Amino acid sequence: MKLTGGKTGNIEKAEPPKKGQRLIFDDHRDAPRGFALRLTEAGGKAFILRYKVDGRERRKTIGAWPTWTLEAARDEARKLLLEIERGNDPLEETRRRKAEPIVADLAKEWLEKHATGLASEKAIRGYVINDIIPAIGRMKVTDVRRRDVIELVEAKAEATPRAAAQVLIYARRLFDYAANRDLIPANPVAGLKPSAITVKGRRDPLKQTARGRVLDADEIRAFWQNAETAGLRRLTAIALKMVLVTGQRPGEVAGMQEREIDGRTWTIPAHRRGKTETAHSVFLTDTALELLAEARAELKRLQRRREGAMSGHIFEVRPGGFITPAALSKAVERAHKALDAKIHPQWGRWTPHDLRRTMRTGLSACKIRPDIAELTIGHTKRGIVATYDLHSFDAERRAALEAWEGRLLAILDGRDPEASRDNVVQMEARA
């Protein structure tokens, strides 16, 4: 039968079968071979193409009438036949397409395999779940183009350029994972540089200048003297002091556990060190031990006032919960006036991480070798040195921490910290 459309055509008048389906093949001279109208007992009408691949009969639905006009359906059928002649199977392609994951599903899989257990897991999940998924989560992974990622990063950069840089990093890693799993032929954002991101009125908005805030002697004294009377929790104040004394990351200090301490050695396990894959040992100076004793006493006092077993964390502020790096930052921000924090013209007030930078700067002031200073604060050896130099430099790192302790105590006592340099030579010789 020659199919005709329109309100007076035979498609409009075609009666549905009493049961099952019925096919009316189009006998029009322009109709592709196998093109037909499918009628169902429920009254549905749709255009289909029947064809064979490897001797098997296949039936591909083109679309429902009248959403698809007769002319449009015929044209689509011709395109499908061309694909079939090239050796492609349109029906198999449709099934494959349906089976392709969307970005949201891929992101959840990647987070479980590559973010779970990391010290930065919460931050990574935040960028992926709050920024990447809302923007492109419903797209098929194979449909994502470089421009899609650029647009979502630029939208983020409008308000928070620093966070936008992180979004770009994790988007790149997500699609690296997709490429490595052979879900896509190549990462669409491979090689995408932060400088490619543009925001109106700002040139290179993702460019980050390394923060250079350190506390001067007056700020160090004001912090140390006022920390426990500035409205901070006592454990929070002690944890902040421990960052300044040891030079370790605020998150590593906040998560310190009793089982990590053996005499004068604090060993930070690899799983708590987000940027490296090795454990790190820290010599505990007399000042560090005094802070530990104060923290334990405060923890014991709190334990008498609450129920529940302790988790073993030194800075446990509630049963099973210890201080987080974010909590340390918020505490410092709230108490900045009481801590007499100055406003730096470029960097503003100091943060917990600036205590670590202050300690590292202090090591240089103590004339500690740069490589020893870096190892002391937990940075690892790089390149060929990491491959061939496996010495731990324990004695040198201990001397560095003792030298910094001497300088810090001189600052706190109002003495000239430069005078403490004389002791450094003796400590290095002893090491």
Do residue 133 and residue 225 come from a single domain? no
Print the domain residue range for 168.
Answer: 103-196
pLDDT at 6: 64
In a domain, residue 205? The reply is: no
In a domain, residue 211? The reply is: no
Q: Are 257 and 264 in contact (CB under 8 A)?
A: no
- Phi-psi label, residue 414: left if phi above 0, alpha if psi -120 to 50, beta otherwise: left
pLDDT at 48: 85
Read off the pLDDT of residues 124-156 as tens digits, 9 standing for 90 and up: 999 999 999 999 999 999 899 999 999 999 888
- Give me the phi and psi of 324, to 5 degrees please: -100, 160
In a domain, residue 5? The reply is: no
Do residue 337 and residue 408 come from a single domain? yes
Do residue 74 and residue 107 come from a single domain? no
pLDDT at 425: 44
DSSP state at residue 313: B
- Give me the phi and psi of 267, to 5 degrees please: -105, 115
Count CA atoms closer than 13 A to 27's CA, side-chain side.
4
Contacts of 381 (CB under 8 A, 6+ apart): 371, 375, 389
In a domain, residue 245? The reply is: yes
CATH of the domain at 88: 3.30.160.390
Which position has the higher pLDDT, 343 or 399?
399
Do residue 234 and residue 180 come from a single domain? no
Tell me the H-state helices in 62-216.
Answer: 70-85, 90-99, 103-114, 121-127, 133-136, 146-157, 161-180
pLDDT at 2: 72
The three-state secondary structure class of 45 is: strand
Do residue 307 and residue 259 come from a single domain? yes
CATH of the domain at 127: 1.10.150.130
- Give me the phi and psi of 97, to 5 degrees please: -60, -45
In a domain, residue 212? The reply is: no
CA distances from 394 to 132, 268, 280, 397 (A): 44, 15, 11, 5
Neighbours of 227 (CB within 10 A): 22
Do residue 136 and residue 276 come from a single domain? no
Residue at a domain's end among 56, 82, 99: 99
Q: Which residue has the tokens 């257990």?
A: 117
C-alpha distance across the termini of the chain, in Å:
99
Do residue 227 and residue 179 come from a single domain? no
Domain tally, the chain: 3
Q: Are 146 and 131 in contact (CB under 8 A)?
A: no
Average pLDDT for residues 96-124, to the nearest whole number?
A: 86
Do residue 121 and residue 66 come from a single domain? no
Do residue 301 and residue 397 come from a single domain? yes
pLDDT band at 350 (very low <50, low <70, confident <90, very high): very high
Do residue 234 and residue 322 come from a single domain? yes
* pLDDT greater than 60 at residue 424: no
- Give me the phi and psi of 380, to 5 degrees please: -100, 160
- Give me the phi and psi of 16, to 5 degrees please: -70, 155
Read off the pLDDT of residues 303-337 as tens digits, 9 standing for 90 and up: 877 665 567 899 998 776 788 888 999 999 999 99
In a domain, residue 202? The reply is: no
* CA 211 – CA 99 distance, rounded (Å): 46
pLDDT at 264: 96
Average pLDDT for residues 4-22, to the nearest whole number?
A: 77
Residue at a domain's end among 66, 99, 132: 99
Residue at a domain's end among 49, 76, 99: 99
Do residue 164 and residue 302 come from a single domain? no
Q: Are 165 and 152 in contact (CB under 8 A)?
A: no
In a domain, residue 275? The reply is: yes
- Residue 146 CA, distance from chain mean position: 19
Average pLDDT for residues 184-192, to the nearest whole number?
A: 89
188-192, 233-237, 248-252, 362-366: range with lowest mean pLDDT = 188-192
Do residue 45 and residue 120 come from a single domain? no
CATH of the domain at 252: 1.10.443.10
